[in-house]
Structure 1
Amino acid sequence: MNRLKVYNCISAKFSISVGFLLSPFFLFSQSVLKDSLLQEVTLKSAVDYAIVHQPQIQQSLIDQQLLETTIKSKLADWYPQINFNYNLQHNFIIQTTVIGGNRVKLGVNNTSAGLFSISQVLFNKDVLLANRTKTDARLQARQLTSNNKIELAAEVSKAFYDVLSTQQQIKVSTTNIQRIEQSLKDAYNQYTAGIADKIDYKRATIALNNSMAAKRSNEELLKAKMETLKTLMGYPVSANLNIVYDSLQMEKEILLDTLQKANYAARVEYKLLETQRRLLQYNLKYNKWSYLPTASLNGAYNLSYQNNNFSKLYDNNFPNSYAALTLGFSIFQGGKRKAGIQAAELELERNNLDIVSFKNVVNNAYTQALANYKSNLENFKALKDNLVLAKDVYEILRLQYRSGIKAYLEVITAETDLRTAEINYYTSVYQLLASKIDVQKALGQIVY
């Protein structure tokens, strides 16, 4: 949308011909915006959209790219390092020394040098660590992204169900308002016919006002819940979400195998801890490698030009070259290496305790999620039966009231019971689906 505003400003300032030239950009930007929206938002499409567009997931993918560039930067030290240095120097005062009683100048007025150097690392603990850990480092980055996707999928699913629950409450209120309006009409007709007093008519009016207030309240809540879902999805704020769902299909999806056992090994968090343990094991080796010497091959070829006359500086070259093997030994560092090894061992031990703790957390989380699911399942079954009964009671009392057998108060009570039964039923459906997500997450069955 910002791009469209910029193009509109440009076309207003420039001539019509320039406007025609820019028109393809208008069409392109509009097409991109249109393609980024969903015509119909199902649970699956909402989660898929969030996985692609949510900023947190995009940041995780960028972190993977940053890690890849860091690995390449570290591994580049394994390759031969070739350098060239150029120097041009004029000596205002040449160093003089006395040799055999004679004063001798050491050097000439003008010098120039070109240094080609090459070095090859044979052993260096930093480069070796980068080479050994690159696979696990990449795996850890992918696992972190996967974990973020799983968390996001669960949050989007729950927000989606929350929106559906509120939408159903609005629909229930709409249906209830229609029923009360019909009851109000019946009560008014009986009042005008002298069959009943105005109390029934006023009670129906009160019930209608309450239902309309409840509907308006849910409509405002729905706006907030829609914005929450948009935020989780990374959906444009100015766009609308056209939520579609199959209530019958959702009711079929509520069942879950409750005989499954907690499997912490299937959780991506456990895999992350295992990857972290391997990286910590490499870190321990890295600190132990600090006792080993560094080794490298070095070589250079130097071009050396010297002349007192600057114009003839490059007439004569006095080159030199060398090759060397360099070994570096660290003899004493004040106990730094020993402390580093101890710290690495403690970090590894702490990671092992993290794994033990995580196993207990998974078992507890699964137990809690399963208990919540079973509780919601029983509640769903009871509320489903209550809904059927409430409908039957309301229809019977409504007919009896029209026949003059029952008082209108009983009809109002039946309407309230029916509305409550409908709201409770639909709420129980979405609570059950949300609790099912918690069970699946605890079992590690949500995978990305």
Structure 2
Amino acid sequence: MILVAALLGGCAVGPDYRTPLLATPAHWSRTGGVTTAPPTLPRWWARLHDPLLDRLVTEAVGGNLDVATASARVREARASYRQAVGALLPTIANSDSARLVNGTNSLSAMPGGTNIGTPSSSVGSNDAAGLYQAGFDASWELDLFGANRRAVEAAGYGIDASDENLRAVLMTLVGDVASNYVQARGYQARIALARRTALSQDETTKITRNRLAAGTASAADLANATGQAATTRAFVPTLEAAYAEAVHRLSVLTGRPPAALADRMARPGPIPTPKLPVPAGVPADVLLLRPDVRLAERRYAQSTARVGQAEAALYPSVSLTGNIATSGTKLGDLGRNSSISWSLGPTLTVPIFKGGKLRAAVDIAQAQRDQQFLAYQASVLAALKDVEDALVSLGHERSRNGLLATSTTAYRQAASLSQSLYRSGSSSFLDVLTAERSLYSAEDALLQSRVKIVADYIALNKALGAGWDGDVDVLTPEVIDADTGPHPAGAIPLRRAAP
């Protein structure tokens, strides 16, 4: 039997995993503004040249709660792997006992064992004597059809999946930190623009009031000028609320209370400007660079190994079991005057009738494997879509930004001319109102477009798989237990009875 087990030791049932080959386009549909050079992913946010953003990204990696959760899952996966490996090894347990025996007894070998010692001394029927036993039990499942090895294989894929999940969380985190930071800077710029414009419109109101006193303007002109300045100033509270929300999100992403970054962000800074064009590589790169795609592939591999684990349960299992024990009436006799018993032999377990449970378990594992394969395909398509969307959005926004810059320049000239003509009495006040309103709208749209370009740049880097490439502590637990060894149990608080 042992020889047969040795011969079958390398046997494993179930499918062997092979990485699927999925067809991807040869190139991206839109190449404007990008190059086919390999993506430059390490520390991509540093190319925005904002030192505060660099620090916030580093702080977020160290303090974000989602990252800490993903790190704990890495530790869990590694422990699960060690647990699965332990099933491949023999188990040995020590068994000691001590009890009192009444009557006349003679120590004998354990059932199934061989008595190679001498009987112990007898005791009277009314006397009590001690009976001490010590021994070891051992067992080893030979894993003929690879159930435990498939479990180890699945656990190994689980480690890979947890690592990729951590990278996916980091990818999302870095992108979210950069996005909220840029949004906050954009709101600051729009707030400053609204305040500057309102002050300029206040000057127009002052000029109109003087002209009204001189009889060269109407009360309607003064009312329109006052109303336009107030309307522009009314945008400020809305923008300030949006700015505060962006800072709150940014603070929470770094693992801090919502208002923790208010002081550090209070001083306005420029809207970061990305360096374009962006190296986007080829579509096949997402299969290797996107952590969420690699996560889906590892989960598919893990589910494939579990199919083999379920199929192995259909076959017989063989275990080698053995024990050795010694007993005596005195504790000191265990090593001298004692009875020693031992047993050794194989145990064969054959699943004859389980009511279809084992075959159903195989069908469940196969269905779960199919789900993971489809999830992998879906993740690839989603990744390709993310890149295509980001490329299209970035390309169109750059074109739109150029047109907005042209319109802003034209409206600025128109506003300046209308003010001059109005002061000289050569233009109506309606022309001034229209020019100022159009200039403010164009400048605000230009700022939003600049933010949108950076947001598309961030989205493109995320879509390509850019994330954190530094070290992350996955070894230190979040909760440090105290008094973990045997110790007196604490008092259990009693619930107060209801009156």
Task: Report the TM range for the smaller structure's normalisation.
Answer: 0.7 to 0.9
Partner of 2:57: 47
> Larger relative contact order (C-alpha < 8 A, sep ≥ 6)?
2
Give the aligned partner of residue 285 of structure 1.
308
More helix by share: 1
* Cα distance change, pair 233–316 in 1 and its aligned pair in 2 (3 A): closer
Q: CA distance change for structure 1 residues 79 and 394 in 2, over 3 Å: closer, same or farther?
A: same
Q: In the alignment, is the contact (CA less than 8 A) between 1:118 and 1:298 conserved in 2?
A: yes
- Contact residue 110 and residue 313 of structure 1 kept, 8 A: no
Q: Does 1:388 align with 2:412?
A: no
C-alpha contact 1:180 1:207 (8 A) present in aligned 2: yes
Q: Secondary structure at the match of 1:295?
A: strand
The equivalences for 1:144-293 within 5 A come to: 144-241=165-262, 242-243=264-265, 247=270, 250=273, 252-253=274-275, 255-256=277-278, 261=283, 263-265=285-287, 266-290=289-313, 291-293=315-317
TM-score (norm 1): 0.77
Q: Which moved more, 1:287-296 or 1:375-384?
A: 287-296
1:298 to 322, 326, 331: 322
Closer/same/farther in 2, CA of residues 359 and 312 from structure 1, 3 Å limit: closer
Assess, with a 3 A threshold, how the Cα gap between structure 1 residues 351 and 238 changes in structure 2: closer, same or farther.
closer
1:99 aligned residue: none
Deviation track 1:213-246 (CA, whole Å, cap 9, x = no partner) reads: 2112222332223222222332233423323786
2:435 aligned with 1:425, yes or no? no
Tell me which residue corresponds to 1:348.
369
Output the amino acid matched with 2:136. S
**Cα deviation code 1:370-421 (max 9, x no counterpart):** 3333332222221111111111111122222222222222112111111111
Q: After TM superposition, what 4+ stretches of structure 1 lie above 6 angstroms from structure 2?
A: 311-316
Partner of 1:408: 429
How do 1:331-342 residues align onto structure 2 when only pairs under 5 Å count? 331-334=351-354, 335-342=356-363
The answer to whether the aligner puts 1:58 opposite 2:68 as a matched pair is yes
TM-score, L = length of structure 2: 0.70
Is the Cα–Cα contact under 8 Å of residues 111 and 304 in structure 1 kept in the other structure?
no
Residues 330 and 158 (structure 1), Cα distance of their counterparts in 2 relative to 1, 3 Å cut: same
Which structure 2 residues correspond to residues 68-87 of structure 1 after superposition, within 5 A? 68-87=78-97
Give the Cα–Cα distance (whole angstroms) in 2 for the partners of residues 142 and 198 of structure 1.
71
Give the aligned CA root-mean-square deviation in angstroms. Answer: 3.3
1:373 maps to 2:394: yes
Rate the CA distance shift 1:425–1:60 in 2: closer, same or farther, 3 A.
Answer: same
After TM superposition, give the deviation of residue 134 of structure 1 in Å: 4.0
Letter in 2 for 1:121: W
User: d(CA) in 2 for partners of 1:336 and 1:378?
Assistant: 62
State the percentage of identical aligned residues. 15
Range that drifts further, 270-279 or 196-205:
196-205
Shift, 1:314, TM fit: 8.0
Question: Does the aligned pair in 1 maintain the 2:57–2:174 contact within 8 Å?
Answer: yes
How far does residue 272 in structure 1 lie from its aligned partner after superposition?
1.4
SS in 2 for 1:235: coil
Residue aligning to 2:135: 116
Distance 1:437 1:248 in 2: 13
Alignment of 1:351-366 (within 5 A): 351-366=372-387
Aligned residues: 396
Distance in 2 (CA, whole Å) between partners of 1:389 and 1:312 is 105
Structure 1 residue 427 displacement after superposition: 0.6
Would the alpha carbon gap of residues 384 and 77 (structure 1) be closer, same or farther in structure 2, given more than 3 Å must change? Answer: same
Tell me, yes or no, if the aligned pair for 2:78 and 2:159 is still in contact at 8 Å: yes
Pair 171,254 (structure 1): closer, same or farther in 2 beyond 3 Å: farther
Look up the equivalent residue of 1:86 and give its one-letter code: D
Distance 1:107 1:167 in 2: 96
Pair 1:318 & 2:338 matched: yes
Structure 2 residue identity aligned to 1:87:
S
Structure 1 stretch 231-240 or stretch 140-149: which is displaced more? 231-240
Q: 1:89 to 1:313 in 2, by over 3 A?
A: farther
Q: Tell me which amino acid in the other structure corresponds to 1:114.
A: Q
Unmatched segments (≥5 aa) in structure 2: 1-49, 107-120, 470-499
Q: CA separation in 2, counterparts of 1:377 and 1:192?
A: 48
Match for residue 10 of structure 1?
none
Query: How much does 1:162 deviate?
Result: 2.4
Matches of 2:216 and 2:268, distance apart in 1: 46
1:329 — aligned with what?
A: 349
1:27 paired residue number: none
CA distance in 1 between counterparts of 2:217 and 2:52 reads: 49
Aligned counterparts of 2:72 and 2:165: Cα–Cα separation in 1: 12
